[in-house]
C-alpha cells in the first residue's frame, strides 16, 4: 500500500499514476513559457493577465505540459497554485533555459553591432518622410550603430540608378536586368483621406459622385501617368475645375494635413496622424512596392542588413495589414497594432556600447 501511495498524487490536483499515465506527448516549448509565468505568479489568473490570454487557455497549456512531462507540476488550490516537487525542478530548468536564450540573443546582438560599412538607398519622398524616417531610421541606427546610411528621396518617375545606390525602393519592379535582384516588399492600398479641419469646413462626401464638389489633389507624373493616379480611377479630371497636382508625395500629404484638399494616399497614412480620416474607404486601388538591388551590393554586410530590415520590420506585410496583399479598411485598431509592433522591434535593440566606437573607415 505504501509503495502504491508513493506513485499517486492526489488532493485538488488531478490523479497521475506514473506507471499508467497516457502516452507522453512531444513538448510544446511555448508551454514552458506559460508555465514560467504560472510559477512566478502562483496563479492562473495573474499569469493569464501577464501573458494577455484567457485563464482557461493557461489551464489547458499547463495540463498539456503535465501530460508531456508525465507528472503534475502544480497543485490547484482555492487561493492559487503551488508547485509540486517536479514543478519546482521544471521551473529551475525553465529559468536556466531563459538565461541561455538571453545569452544567445546577446551574442546575436554583438554580431549585429559588428556590421560596419555604408548603405546607399533611394526611397520615394513621401515614404521616406512619413514612414521610414520618423519610425524606423532611429531603430536601424540602434541595431547597426556602425552603418552609415546615405538616404536619397526621389519621385517614382526618376531614372533607376543601381549603382550608385545599393538599394532602390520604388512602385514598379526593376526593368529586365540580369544584374538586379527584385522582390515585392509590400502592397500599397490607396484610398481617399481628409483632415478633420477640412471636414469641418467643407463637409464629408458620402459617395464618389459627391467628390465633384470637393477639392482634390493628386501626385503627378507618378505611376507613369501624365494626369496622375487619381484621374485614372475617378472622374476628377472631367470636372472642369482646378485642384492640386504635385510630383511630391510629401507635398500632397502636407496639403491634406493642412486641411486644404482631399488626397488619394496609401492606407498606412492613417497611422501618420490622428487628424487624418479615411474618406470612402470602400474606394481603393493598389500598387506593389518593390525593393531591388545588385548582387554585388547585397554581398556587403551593411546592405544586407538594410535589406533584411526592410523586409522583416519596415514592411512586415504579415503583421501590418496596411501592407498586406489583400485590402483592409483603415481602423483605429491599426494604431495599437503598430505601437505593439514597434515595441516588439525595439526589444531587439542592442544595448549601448560600454566603450566609444572606433572611428569609422569607408569600405
Mean pLDDT of all residues belonging to the chain: 77
H/E element holding 295? helix 295-298
**What does the pLDDT look like over 294-322, one tens digit per residue?**
888 888 889 999 999 999 899 998 889 99
pLDDT for residue 346 is more than 90: no
For residue 163, the model assigns a pLDDT of 60
Interhelix angle 44-51/29-41, nearest 10 degrees: 120
CA atoms lying within 13 Å on the CB side of residue 110: 7
Could you report the per-residue pLDDT of 115-139, keeping only the tens digit for each? 889 999 998 888 899 999 999 999 9
pTM: 0.62
Higher pLDDT, residue 247 or 280: 280
Mean pLDDT of 260-285: 89
Q: How far apart are CA 330 and CA 267, in angstroms?
A: 6
The Cα 320–Cα 335 span in angstroms is 11
pLDDT (0 to 100) of residue 149: 94
Which is more confidently placed, 36 or 5?
A: 36
User: Is a pLDDT exceeding 90 seen at residue 51?
Assistant: no
Residue 24 pLDDT class (50, 70, 90 cuts): low
- The residues, any chain, with a CB within 8 Å of residue 73's CB and separated by 6 or more, are 35, 62, 65, 66, 83, 84, 86, 87, 90
Structural domains of the chain, ranges and CATH numbers in brackets = 2-110 (1.10.10.10), 114-350 (3.40.190.290)
* pLDDT given for residue 77 in this prediction: 82
pLDDT at 201 over 70: yes
pLDDT for the residue numbered 10? 38
Distance of CA 234 to the CA centre of its chain: 32
Q: Cα separation of 169 and 159, whole Å?
A: 12
- What is the pLDDT, as a whole number, of residue 284? 85
Amino acid at each position: 500500500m505504501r509503495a502504491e501511495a508513493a506513485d499517486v498524487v492526489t488532493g485538488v490536483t488531478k490523479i497521475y499514476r506514473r506507471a499508467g499515465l497516457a502516452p507522453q506527448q512531444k513538448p510544446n516549448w511555448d508551454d514552458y513559457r506559460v508555465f514560467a509565468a504560472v510559477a512566478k505568479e502562483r496563479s492562473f489568473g495573474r499569469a493569464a493577465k501577464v501573458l494577455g490570454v484567457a485563464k482557461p487557455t493557461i489551464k489547458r497549456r499547463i495540463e498539456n505540459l503535465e501530460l508531456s512531462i508525465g507528472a503534475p507540476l502544480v497543485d490547484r488550490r482555492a487561493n492559487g497554485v503551488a508547485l509540486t516537487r517536479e514543478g519546482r525542478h521544471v521551473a529551475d530548468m525553465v529559468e536556466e533555459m531563459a538565461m541561455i536564450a538571453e545569452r544567445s540573443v546577446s551574442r546575436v546582438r554583438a554580431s549585429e553591432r559588428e556590421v560596419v560599412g555604408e548603405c546607399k538607398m533611394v526611397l520615394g519622398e513621401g515614404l521616406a518622410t512619413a514612414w521610414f524616417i520618423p519610425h524606423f531610421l532611429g531603430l536601424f541606427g540602434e541595431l547597426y550603430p556602425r552603418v552609415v546610411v546615405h538616404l536619397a528621396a526621389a519621385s517614382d518617375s526618376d531614372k533607376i540608378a543601381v549603382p550608385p545606390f545599393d538599394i532602390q525602393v520604388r512602385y514598379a519592379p526593376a526593368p529586365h536586368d540580369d544584374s538586379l535582384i527584385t522582390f515585392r516588399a509590400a502592397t500599397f492600398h490607396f484610398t481617399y483621406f481628409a483632415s478633420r479641419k477640412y471636414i469641418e469646413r467643407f463637409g464629408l462626401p458620402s459617395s464618389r459622385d459627391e467628390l465633384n464638389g470637393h477639392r482634390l489633389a493628386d501626385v503627378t507624373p507618378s505611376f507613369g501617368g501624365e494626369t496622375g493616379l487619381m484621374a485614372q480611377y475617378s472622374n476628377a479630371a472631367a470636372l472642369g475645375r482646378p485642384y492640386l497636382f504635385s510630383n511630391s508625395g510629401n507635398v500632397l500629404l502636407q496639403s491634406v494635413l493642412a486641411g486644404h484638399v482631399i488626397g488619394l494616399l496609401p492606407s498606412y497614412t492613417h497611422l501618420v496622424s490622428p487628424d487624418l480620416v479615411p474618406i470612402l474607404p470602400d474606394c481603393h486601388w493598389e500598387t506593389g512596392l518593390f525593393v531591388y538591388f545588385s548582387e554585388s551590393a547585397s554581398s556587403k554586410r551593411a546592405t544586407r542588413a538594410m535589406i533584411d530590415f526592410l523586409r522583416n520590420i519596415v514592411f512586415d506585410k504579415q503583421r501590418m495589414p496596411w501592407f498586406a496583399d489583400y485590402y483592409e479598411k483603415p481602423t483605429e485598431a491599426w494604431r495599437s497594432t503598430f505601437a505593439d509592433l514597434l515595441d516588439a522591434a525595439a526589444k531587439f535593440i542592442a544595448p549601448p556600447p560600454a566603450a566609444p566606437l572606433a572611428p569609422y573607415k569607408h569600405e
